[in-house]
Amino acid sequence: MAIFKGAGVAIVTPMKENYEINYDKLDEILEEQIAGGTDAIIICGTTGESATMTEAEHSEAIRFTVERVKHRIPVVAGTGSNCTATAIELSKQAEADGADGLLIVTPYYNKATQNGLVAHYKAICSETKLPAIVYNVPSRTGCNVQPQTLARLVKEVDNVVGVKEASGNIGNVAEIMHLCGGNIELYSGNDDQVVPILSLGGIGVISVLSNVAPTYVHDMVEKYLTGNTAESCKMQLDAIPMCNALFCEVNPIPVKAAMNMMGKGVGPLRAPMTEIEDAHREVLRKAMTDFGLL
Protein backbone atom coordinates (compact mmCIF):
# COMPACT_ATOMS: atom_id res chain seq x y z
CA MET A 1 0.00 0.00 0.00
CA ALA A 2 1.37 3.41 -0.98
CA ILE A 3 2.38 5.85 1.74
CA PHE A 4 0.08 8.29 -0.03
CA LYS A 5 -1.45 9.01 -3.41
CA GLY A 6 -2.09 12.52 -4.64
CA ALA A 7 -0.56 15.83 -3.62
CA GLY A 8 1.86 15.92 -0.71
CA VAL A 9 3.06 19.33 0.39
CA ALA A 10 6.76 19.93 0.93
CA ILE A 11 5.84 22.26 3.73
CA VAL A 12 7.81 25.36 4.71
CA THR A 13 9.12 25.81 8.23
CA PRO A 14 7.80 29.10 9.63
CA MET A 15 10.35 31.15 11.52
CA LYS A 16 10.09 33.89 14.11
CA GLU A 17 12.01 37.11 13.56
CA ASN A 18 14.77 35.70 15.76
CA TYR A 19 14.94 32.64 13.44
CA GLU A 20 13.52 30.20 15.94
CA ILE A 21 10.91 27.80 14.55
CA ASN A 22 7.44 29.29 14.90
CA TYR A 23 5.42 26.29 16.05
CA ASP A 24 2.19 28.26 16.48
CA LYS A 25 2.36 29.26 12.83
CA LEU A 26 3.33 25.73 11.76
CA ASP A 27 0.22 24.45 13.55
CA GLU A 28 -1.87 26.99 11.65
CA ILE A 29 -0.54 26.13 8.21
CA LEU A 30 -0.83 22.39 8.88
CA GLU A 31 -4.54 22.92 9.51
CA GLU A 32 -4.86 25.02 6.35
CA GLN A 33 -3.20 22.30 4.30
CA ILE A 34 -5.47 19.56 5.63
CA ALA A 35 -8.56 21.73 5.08
CA GLY A 36 -7.34 22.45 1.54
CA GLY A 37 -7.28 18.79 0.58
CA THR A 38 -3.56 18.06 0.77
CA ASP A 39 -2.99 14.30 0.81
CA ALA A 40 0.22 14.18 2.89
CA ILE A 41 2.55 16.45 4.85
CA ILE A 42 6.26 16.22 4.06
CA ILE A 43 8.09 17.86 6.93
CA CYS A 44 11.80 18.79 7.10
CA GLY A 45 12.48 18.59 3.40
CA THR A 46 14.37 21.06 1.22
CA THR A 47 11.45 23.50 1.30
CA GLY A 48 11.41 23.23 5.08
CA GLU A 49 15.03 24.46 5.34
CA SER A 50 16.14 21.20 6.94
CA ALA A 51 19.74 21.92 5.96
CA THR A 52 19.93 24.71 8.54
CA MET A 53 18.17 22.84 11.36
CA THR A 54 19.99 21.25 14.24
CA GLU A 55 19.29 17.55 14.74
CA ALA A 56 17.24 18.44 17.82
CA GLU A 57 15.14 20.94 15.87
CA HIS A 58 14.74 18.44 13.04
CA SER A 59 13.31 15.78 15.33
CA GLU A 60 11.17 18.24 17.26
CA ALA A 61 9.57 19.58 14.04
CA ILE A 62 8.72 16.03 12.96
CA ARG A 63 7.35 15.14 16.40
CA PHE A 64 5.24 18.31 16.52
CA THR A 65 3.81 17.67 13.06
CA VAL A 66 2.87 14.07 13.84
CA GLU A 67 1.15 15.17 17.06
CA ARG A 68 -0.83 17.92 15.36
CA VAL A 69 -1.84 15.97 12.25
CA LYS A 70 -3.12 13.08 14.40
CA HIS A 71 -3.23 10.53 11.56
CA ARG A 72 -5.71 12.55 9.51
CA ILE A 73 -3.30 12.29 6.59
CA PRO A 74 0.15 10.68 6.37
CA VAL A 75 3.22 12.51 7.65
CA VAL A 76 6.42 11.81 5.74
CA ALA A 77 9.58 12.85 7.56
CA GLY A 78 12.63 14.12 5.74
CA THR A 79 15.49 12.31 7.46
CA GLY A 80 18.26 12.39 4.88
CA SER A 81 21.81 13.48 5.57
CA ASN A 82 25.20 13.28 3.90
CA CYS A 83 26.27 11.32 6.98
CA THR A 84 24.77 7.83 7.02
CA ALA A 85 24.93 7.59 10.81
CA THR A 86 23.02 10.87 11.19
CA ALA A 87 20.36 9.73 8.72
CA ILE A 88 19.95 6.51 10.69
CA GLU A 89 19.43 8.36 13.96
CA LEU A 90 16.98 10.85 12.44
CA SER A 91 15.05 7.99 10.82
CA LYS A 92 14.87 5.94 14.00
CA GLN A 93 13.66 8.98 15.92
CA ALA A 94 11.02 9.77 13.28
CA GLU A 95 9.74 6.21 13.52
CA ALA A 96 9.61 6.41 17.32
CA ASP A 97 7.69 9.68 17.06
CA GLY A 98 5.03 8.19 14.78
CA ALA A 99 5.89 9.29 11.23
CA ASP A 100 4.20 7.29 8.48
CA GLY A 101 7.14 7.25 6.09
CA LEU A 102 10.56 8.67 5.36
CA LEU A 103 11.89 10.88 2.58
CA ILE A 104 15.63 10.28 2.32
CA VAL A 105 17.62 12.55 0.05
CA THR A 106 20.76 11.23 -1.60
CA PRO A 107 23.87 12.18 0.40
CA TYR A 108 24.98 15.62 -0.77
CA TYR A 109 28.55 16.94 -1.12
CA ASN A 110 30.19 13.53 -0.61
CA LYS A 111 29.37 12.50 -4.21
CA ALA A 112 28.84 8.85 -3.32
CA THR A 113 29.32 6.16 -5.96
CA GLN A 114 26.31 4.09 -6.99
CA ASN A 115 27.57 1.28 -4.74
CA GLY A 116 27.90 3.85 -1.98
CA LEU A 117 24.29 4.89 -2.48
CA VAL A 118 23.13 1.29 -2.21
CA ALA A 119 25.11 0.86 1.02
CA HIS A 120 23.77 4.16 2.39
CA TYR A 121 20.12 3.28 1.86
CA LYS A 122 20.57 -0.32 3.02
CA ALA A 123 22.17 0.87 6.24
CA ILE A 124 19.37 3.35 6.98
CA CYS A 125 16.52 1.03 6.06
CA SER A 126 17.92 -1.84 8.09
CA GLU A 127 17.38 0.29 11.20
CA THR A 128 13.71 1.18 10.61
CA LYS A 129 10.53 -0.54 9.52
CA LEU A 130 9.09 2.62 7.97
CA PRO A 131 8.60 2.75 4.19
CA ALA A 132 11.19 5.01 2.58
CA ILE A 133 11.10 7.26 -0.48
CA VAL A 134 14.42 7.94 -2.18
CA TYR A 135 14.74 11.64 -3.03
CA ASN A 136 16.69 12.19 -6.22
CA VAL A 137 17.56 15.87 -6.79
CA PRO A 138 21.01 15.96 -8.42
CA SER A 139 20.90 19.71 -9.11
CA ARG A 140 21.15 20.26 -5.34
CA THR A 141 23.15 17.24 -4.20
CA GLY A 142 25.64 16.64 -7.01
CA CYS A 143 24.59 12.99 -6.84
CA ASN A 144 22.23 11.20 -9.25
CA VAL A 145 20.60 7.86 -8.48
CA GLN A 146 20.86 5.93 -11.72
CA PRO A 147 17.77 3.96 -12.73
CA GLN A 148 19.68 0.68 -12.42
CA THR A 149 20.63 1.58 -8.85
CA LEU A 150 17.06 2.42 -7.91
CA ALA A 151 15.85 -0.85 -9.42
CA ARG A 152 18.44 -2.68 -7.34
CA LEU A 153 17.35 -0.90 -4.16
CA VAL A 154 13.68 -1.69 -4.74
CA LYS A 155 14.55 -5.35 -5.30
CA GLU A 156 16.98 -5.75 -2.40
CA VAL A 157 15.51 -3.47 0.31
CA ASP A 158 11.94 -4.23 1.33
CA ASN A 159 11.16 -0.80 2.74
CA VAL A 160 12.54 1.25 -0.16
CA VAL A 161 9.15 1.69 -1.77
CA GLY A 162 9.27 4.94 -3.71
CA VAL A 163 11.18 7.71 -5.38
CA LYS A 164 10.70 11.46 -5.47
CA GLU A 165 12.10 12.23 -8.90
CA ALA A 166 13.38 15.80 -9.21
CA SER A 167 16.10 15.27 -11.79
CA GLY A 168 13.96 17.00 -14.41
CA ASN A 169 14.92 14.25 -16.85
CA ILE A 170 11.77 12.55 -18.12
CA GLY A 171 13.87 9.95 -19.91
CA ASN A 172 15.42 9.06 -16.57
CA VAL A 173 11.95 8.65 -15.09
CA ALA A 174 10.82 6.39 -17.93
CA GLU A 175 13.91 4.22 -17.49
CA ILE A 176 13.20 3.92 -13.75
CA MET A 177 9.66 2.72 -14.39
CA HIS A 178 10.86 0.30 -17.08
CA LEU A 179 13.55 -1.25 -14.90
CA CYS A 180 11.39 -1.38 -11.77
CA GLY A 181 8.53 -3.02 -13.65
CA GLY A 182 6.05 -0.72 -11.96
CA ASN A 183 7.10 -1.96 -8.51
CA ILE A 184 7.85 1.50 -7.20
CA GLU A 185 5.80 4.44 -5.98
CA LEU A 186 6.74 7.33 -8.24
CA TYR A 187 6.27 10.94 -7.13
CA SER A 188 7.08 14.05 -9.10
CA GLY A 189 9.54 16.32 -7.35
CA ASN A 190 8.92 19.18 -9.78
CA ASP A 191 5.64 21.09 -9.93
CA ASP A 192 6.02 21.74 -13.66
CA GLN A 193 6.24 18.01 -14.43
CA VAL A 194 3.42 16.51 -12.39
CA VAL A 195 1.23 15.36 -15.27
CA PRO A 196 4.12 14.05 -17.40
CA ILE A 197 5.27 11.93 -14.46
CA LEU A 198 1.73 10.74 -13.74
CA SER A 199 1.56 9.63 -17.37
CA LEU A 200 4.55 7.34 -16.78
CA GLY A 201 2.89 5.64 -13.82
CA GLY A 202 3.37 8.21 -11.08
CA ILE A 203 0.93 8.35 -8.19
CA GLY A 204 1.46 11.89 -6.98
CA VAL A 205 3.68 14.85 -6.30
CA ILE A 206 5.68 16.24 -3.40
CA SER A 207 4.89 19.84 -4.12
CA VAL A 208 6.16 23.33 -3.38
CA LEU A 209 3.16 24.88 -5.14
CA SER A 210 0.85 23.17 -2.63
CA ASN A 211 2.09 25.60 0.04
CA VAL A 212 0.12 28.37 -1.68
CA ALA A 213 -2.45 26.39 -3.71
CA PRO A 214 -3.18 23.08 -1.94
CA THR A 215 -6.62 22.50 -3.40
CA TYR A 216 -5.44 23.24 -6.92
CA VAL A 217 -2.59 20.72 -6.79
CA HIS A 218 -4.74 18.10 -5.10
CA ASP A 219 -7.43 18.49 -7.77
CA MET A 220 -4.92 18.37 -10.63
CA VAL A 221 -3.59 15.02 -9.44
CA GLU A 222 -7.00 13.66 -8.49
CA LYS A 223 -8.42 14.47 -11.91
CA TYR A 224 -5.60 12.61 -13.62
CA LEU A 225 -5.86 9.56 -11.36
CA THR A 226 -9.63 9.36 -11.86
CA GLY A 227 -9.45 9.57 -15.64
CA ASN A 228 -10.03 13.25 -16.39
CA THR A 229 -6.64 13.59 -18.02
CA ALA A 230 -7.59 16.47 -20.32
CA GLU A 231 -8.62 18.73 -17.44
CA SER A 232 -5.58 17.69 -15.41
CA CYS A 233 -3.31 18.55 -18.32
CA LYS A 234 -4.99 21.95 -18.70
CA MET A 235 -4.43 22.65 -15.01
CA GLN A 236 -0.77 21.69 -15.35
CA LEU A 237 -0.27 24.05 -18.27
CA ASP A 238 -2.20 26.87 -16.62
CA ALA A 239 0.07 26.56 -13.56
CA ILE A 240 3.37 26.80 -15.47
CA PRO A 241 3.90 30.57 -14.96
CA MET A 242 3.25 30.15 -11.24
CA CYS A 243 5.60 27.17 -11.04
CA ASN A 244 8.30 29.16 -12.83
CA ALA A 245 7.84 32.11 -10.47
CA LEU A 246 8.22 29.84 -7.43
CA PHE A 247 11.65 28.91 -8.75
CA CYS A 248 12.80 32.32 -9.99
CA GLU A 249 15.28 32.05 -7.12
CA VAL A 250 16.39 28.94 -5.28
CA ASN A 251 13.66 27.20 -3.29
CA PRO A 252 12.36 28.04 -0.68
CA ILE A 253 13.09 31.76 -1.13
CA PRO A 254 10.15 32.49 -3.48
CA VAL A 255 7.57 30.28 -1.77
CA LYS A 256 8.20 31.88 1.61
CA ALA A 257 7.95 35.31 -0.04
CA ALA A 258 4.68 34.23 -1.67
CA MET A 259 3.20 33.02 1.60
CA ASN A 260 4.18 36.23 3.34
CA MET A 261 2.56 38.23 0.51
CA MET A 262 -0.61 36.22 1.15
CA GLY A 263 -0.51 37.27 4.80
CA LYS A 264 0.45 33.85 6.14
CA GLY A 265 3.34 35.25 8.20
CA VAL A 266 5.83 32.42 7.78
CA GLY A 267 8.72 34.74 8.59
CA PRO A 268 12.29 34.98 7.32
CA LEU A 269 14.75 32.46 5.92
CA ARG A 270 17.79 31.21 7.74
CA ALA A 271 21.21 32.08 6.37
CA PRO A 272 22.70 31.44 3.92
CA MET A 273 19.29 31.94 2.28
CA THR A 274 18.44 35.60 1.75
CA GLU A 275 15.17 37.38 1.09
CA ILE A 276 13.93 37.51 -2.51
CA GLU A 277 15.37 40.24 -4.74
CA ASP A 278 13.06 43.12 -5.66
CA ALA A 279 12.94 42.30 -9.37
CA HIS A 280 12.03 38.69 -8.66
CA ARG A 281 9.46 39.78 -6.08
CA GLU A 282 7.61 41.62 -8.82
CA VAL A 283 7.77 38.59 -11.12
CA LEU A 284 6.34 36.51 -8.30
CA ARG A 285 3.66 39.06 -7.47
CA LYS A 286 2.45 39.18 -11.09
CA ALA A 287 2.32 35.40 -11.34
CA MET A 288 0.40 35.17 -8.08
CA THR A 289 -2.06 37.82 -9.24
CA ASP A 290 -2.61 36.08 -12.57
CA PHE A 291 -3.07 32.75 -10.76
CA GLY A 292 -5.65 34.24 -8.42
CA LEU A 293 -3.61 34.09 -5.23
CA LEU A 294 -3.56 37.86 -4.68
Active-site hit among 135, 187, 216, 224: 135
CA atoms within 13 A on the CB side of 70: 4
3-state secondary structure of 78: strand
DSSP annotation of 248 = S
Cα–Cα distance, 22 to 4 (Å, whole number): 27
DSSP annotation of 252 = T
Cα–Cα distance, 251 to 233 (Å, whole number): 24
By CB atoms closer than 10 A (0-12, 13-18, 19+), residue 61 is buried
For residues 79 and 121, the answer to whether their CB atoms sit within 8 Å is no
Distances (CA, A) of 220 to 32, 61, 135, 213, 292: 18, 29, 22, 11, 16
Cα–Cα distance, 10 to 19 (Å, whole number): 20
Neighbours of 237 (CB within 10 A): 11
Q: Where are the beta strands (DSSP E) in 4-159?
A: 6-10, 40-43, 75-78, 101-105, 132-136
Note if 164 is an active site residue. yes
Active-site hit among 164, 223, 256, 264: 164
- Would the CA dihedral through 154, 157, 158, 164 be positive or negative? negative
Cα–Cα distance, 9 to 18 (Å, whole number): 25
- Which residues are catalytically annotated? 135, 164
